[in-house]
Chains A and B, each alone.
Chain A
Amino acid sequence: MTIRQPEATGRKATLIYSTVSVGAAALFAGTSWARGYPGVAVWGGAAWVLLLSFIITMPLVSSLIRSRQASGRQM
């Protein structure tokens, strides 16, 4: 018996939270670049947004996917 989520589910979760986080960082970089912020601020800010977005979305998405998978199994 194992409690680890199946690899496919893990990959799916990783794909989702990575996409969301990279998207948020890209949006930040794009907006700040368009507004004429200095390069350090654009890239440093994007890195910080990426890190925080990862931290926020990783557990949320993982748990959402896991619970969906569990409810799908029950049905």
Chain B
Amino acid sequence: MSMRRVHLKLGGLSCASCVQTIETALKRTPGIAEAAVNFAAQKATVTYDPAVLDLKAIEQAITGVGYEVESEELLLTVHGMGSPHCAQVIEQGVSRLDGVAGVTANFSAGTARVSYHPGIITPAEIKRVIRELGYEAEEKLEGAAALDREREARQREIRRQGTYLAISVPLSLVVMAGTFRDYWVLSSFVPAFLSNNFVLLLLTAPIVLGPGRQFVVNSWNGLRHGVTDMNLLYATGIGAAFLIAVLNTFWPDAGFGGEKAVFYESAALLTAFIILGRFLEALTRGRTSEAIRKLMSLQPKIARVRRDGQDREIPADEVLQGDLVLVRPGERIPVDGVVREGYSAVDESMLTGESLPVEKQAGDEVIGGTMNKTGAFTFEATKVGRETALAQIIQLVETAQASKAPIQKLADWVAGHFILGVHALALAVFVFWFFAGYQLFFDPSSRFILSPAALGSIGVFGFSLLLSITVLIISCPCAVGLATPSAMMAGTGKGAEHGVLFKGADAIEATAKLHAVIFDKTGTLTRGEPSVTDVVPVGGVARDEVLRLAAVAEKHSEHPLGEAIVRGAEAAGLPVRAAESFQAIPGHGVEAEAEGRKVLLGNRRLMAERVVDAGPLLPIAERLEDEGKTAMFVAVDGRAAGVIAVADTLKPYSTEAVRLLRRMGLEVAMITGDNLRTAAAIARQVGITRVLAEVLPEEKAAQVRALQAEGKRVAMVGDGINDAPALAAADVGVAIGSGTDVAKETGHVILIKDDLRDVVVAMQIGRRTMRKVRENLFWAFIYNLAGIPIGAGLLYPFFKVVVSPELAAFFMATSSVSVTLNTLLLKRYRPSIAAIRVEGGARIPAPTPGLAGSGR
């Protein structure tokens, strides 16, 4: 059974409990294996079996519980339609595609309008299919704005709630001033007519029936499908307050407290505060998904390609693999490829976080979306469309943002079940105060907290209803829906900004909880290829001369150690000519004749066989071997000349990364297949005390599990392909230096750059994000938890004060404000390493191969 995963854009989600409703509906649908809905992203990620159901059935499951699946629209100009039949051909051909929700082709206008789900199919694929049907299709210019449609939708919601806020806040303030005209000094500047109940009704009705209408409509939509959501709390609260006020206005003797017990200000302020919360939510949602929009904006719209010897400009998504693409200074690179001609420096910071421009010449890879700085060049497109690094990164970030951390699942469950609990509590509060509380404790002189209004002659029903409504409002955990996902989205976005890709919200949560980090040695902590580390001359021979002669002797060698010596000499600027004669002596070394001198390079046995006195070299060689290096003896004309040590050297920043991780309180270990002596030497250099040596590649996962068995949560940092089993076994697998092949990587966290300090960046972002999540959950619940007993009238018997519904609504809005502001603070966060990197960007030393410590 092959499962398929899709991301669907949802519409109509208004609170955290909607998440639970949709997930339940999807999970109940046969053929759906997994469903996760992210309230902040307004997206559903569904894993389903295409053999059992299709997309339409998934859509039906969502629409069946009162929500919408939103699709994008693509407007195409189609050339070559000769008759209305052609329009039918296009409609039939395109509508069969998976991810296409609808298509209308218009023969006379020469256009096709396609509704599609962007998580499943792309405009380029739709255009390709139309071309395969025998027509030419190009996106109409207005279609280019499709990228920003999501932003527009969000902006629309912000504008809508902003308009509601602009209506409800001033009117509510006027209603409040009118209601409390008789208190304090208000009577001196508030006109008397404003305190008239009919005027208050006229002022409140537009708020309740205008901006407040959305709560009634949304809760009715939910109720029709048998689900309750937070809108219902608002609708019942606002509706009941308004209804009592109207009853007391028209029939003051009906027993609801009389004309002094109108609650217009409650209904008005309640609506205003809830809308303030909604406005802030819309604002936060827009801000947290900025990372994706930023990434999308990197994709240039136009590419200049050379086809049939002619340069032409085409839409970037129509570049084909193998096309020669021309890039001028200051232009963005449209797709991934390999430079064929020209030379330039390219700013890759937007994708890798690397602050310095990277030089590019023939044979170098370029990444789509990066900025060409100085020169012009031509490159061959190797990856186009969904295959480009940028497209993969966007996909990965989108998936991560739509995913759900374990802590969020708990919060969603609480929010989903809270509504019922709150209504049950409101019923209990009503029944208690109706049958017992009012008779036992009611005092007509009692007041609302922080309000001059007295309860006066309010009857048993009015009083009990008031407390019941207050409980409904004060208990509403409306901020909980945003608390976790908004922080997670901000965290994944922040990671992407620094070249750290979290594959899901669970990866962030797991990263924040780590106890230990295991680094693979070869290729991760070290470069993975030998380099010359030491050149120690003896007998008065110059150090450079020893290295140069050894390199000349090894010039034609294909042995990795020989190659390392040649590279080392070249890096030191020494001329390496070819030897006059060369002979490899298997298992021993080489013998060569260069510039009329006989050069021997090899191990002890070679020296012994050729009767060279290696005595002066032995203590040097032993010391170097104790450091985990391979020592090679050099003899010139039958006399010992020096020792050259070769070893796998540390990558730049390995030591710094390990030091910082230890400072963060993490245990750092190293795993390698090397012998213990070599491993220990590298571990000493890098500052690691726990070494897991002589571990075969297939045993690495077992070692990770052994560490986990000690009760530790373990991260494994390694090469995403070779170390795949160990990365998968770890709580967090960190694949390092994947460059452009992001999608192929195993691991929960992917580092685009080959810089070990990004492991620290990942840990810092993970920890900071989880701290934000915990803070947000605290702010989301604290007002409710503290407010419920007070709202239910627990203080009333002792202090004769109750919380007014509008104060309850104010508490609720405060929790939304706290969560929103707290999440937005994460956007300003910068990992300490990133700050150092930018400040010190210009002085990052280029790693010199070998020669560290040479000449000792």
Contacts and interface: CB of A to CB of B under 8 A. Distances in A.
B430 A52 contact: yes
B473 to A, nearest CB: 14
Contact of B60 (A3, A52, A55, A63): A3
Contacts of B427: 49, 52-53, 56
A60 B420 contact: yes
B424 interface: yes
B256 A40 contact: yes
Contact of A45 (B29, B240, B464): B464
B25 A59 contact: no
B841 interface: no
A37 B64 CA distance: 44
Given A3-B28, A4-B64, A56 B424 contact: yes
Contacts of B232: 55
Nearest to B417: A59
Interface in A35-69: 35, 37-41, 44-45, 48-49, 51-53, 55-56, 58-60, 62-63, 66
B324 interface: no
Contacts of B420: 55-56, 59-60
Contacts of A39: 255
A75 interface: no
A18 interface: no
Contacts of A28: 431
Q: Which of B30, B255, B464: most chain A CB closer than 10 A?
A: B255
B435 A1 contact: no
A2 B430 contact: no
A41 B430 contact: no
B756 interface: no
Contacts of A41: 255, 434, 459-461
A13 B225 CA distance: 12
Nearest to A66: B28
B597 to A, nearest CB: 85
Given A3-B57, A40-B254, A59-B420, A52 B426 contact: yes
Contact of B255 (A40, A55, A66): A40
B256 A13 contact: no
A31 B362 CA distance: 90
Contact of A31 (B25, B423, B435): B435
Interface in B232-281: 232, 236, 240, 254-256
B762 interface: no
B8 to A, nearest CB: 15
Contacts of B226: 13, 58-59, 62-63
Contacts of B431: 28, 49
A44 B424 CA distance: 18
Contacts, number: 84
Given A13-B226, A49-B430, A37 B460 contact: yes
A20 to B, nearest CB: 12
Q: Place the interface of chain A in its size category.
A: 20 to 34
Interface residues of B, number: 35
Interface string B398-428: 0000000000000000000000100110110
Contact of B468 (A48, A58, A59, A60): A48
A48 B429 CA distance: 12
A24 B775 CA distance: 41
A8 interface: no
B795 interface: no
Interface string A1-27: 111100000000100000000000000
A58 B226 CA distance: 6
B493 to A, nearest CB: 34
B574 interface: no
A43 B464 CA distance: 14
B465 interface: yes
A75 to B, nearest CB: 16
A2 B57 CA distance: 7
Contacts of B460: 37, 41
B228 interface: yes
B223 interface: yes
Nearest to B244: A44
B147 interface: no
Contacts of A31: 435
A58 B255 CA distance: 30
A37 B255 CA distance: 11
A38 B458 CA distance: 13
A15 to B, nearest CB: 14
Nearest to A13: B226
A14 B728 CA distance: 49
B310 to A, nearest CB: 52
Contacts of B240: 48
A48 B64 contact: no
A32 to B, nearest CB: 7
B223 A58 contact: yes
Contacts of A62: 226
A46 to B, nearest CB: 10
B228 A32 contact: no
Contacts of A52: 236, 423-424, 426-427, 430, 468
Contacts of A32: 434-435
Q: Which of B30, B228, B256, B468: most chain A CB closer than 10 A?
A: B228
Contacts of A60: 420
A39 B426 CA distance: 22
Given A31-B435, A56-B423, A3 B236 contact: no
B93 to A, nearest CB: 25
Interface string B20-31: 000011001110
B64 A44 contact: no
Contact of B256 (A44, A51, A55): A44
B57 A70 contact: no
B434 A45 contact: yes
Q: Which of A4, A31, A59, A60: most chain B CB closer than 10 A?
A: A59
B190 interface: no
B619 to A, nearest CB: 78
A63 B226 CA distance: 9
B258 to A, nearest CB: 12
A60 to B, nearest CB: 7
A1 B53 contact: yes
Interface string B451-481: 0000000011100110010000000000000
B780 interface: no
A1 B57 contact: yes
Given A3-B29, A59-B227, A38 B255 contact: yes
B763 interface: no
A45 B459 contact: no
B13 interface: no
B729 interface: no
Contact of A58 (B53, B57, B228, B424): B228
B437 to A, nearest CB: 13
Q: Which of B60, B64, B427: most chain A CB closer than 10 A?
A: B427
Contact of A55 (B29, B236, B464, B468): B236
A2 to B, nearest CB: 7
B100 interface: no
B61 interface: yes
A28 B434 CA distance: 10
A41 B439 CA distance: 14
Interface of A: 1-4, 13, 28, 31-32, 35, 37-41, 44-45, 48-49, 51-53, 55-56, 58-60, 62-63, 66, 70
17 contacts: A1-B53, A1-B60, A3-B64, A38-B255, A40-B461, A44-B465, A48-B465, A48-B468, A52-B423, A52-B468, A55-B236, A56-B427, A58-B226, A59-B227, A62-B226, A63-B24, A66-B28
10 residue pairs, one from A and one from B, having the closest CB atoms = A40-B255, A41-B461, A62-B226, A52-B427, A3-B61, A1-B57, A44-B461, A55-B423, A3-B64, A3-B29
Given A4-B64, A39-B255, A48-B468, 15 more contacts: A35-B435, A38-B461, A40-B254, A41-B255, A44-B465, A45-B434, A49-B427, A55-B232, A55-B236, A55-B420, A58-B223, A58-B226, A59-B227, A63-B226, A66-B28
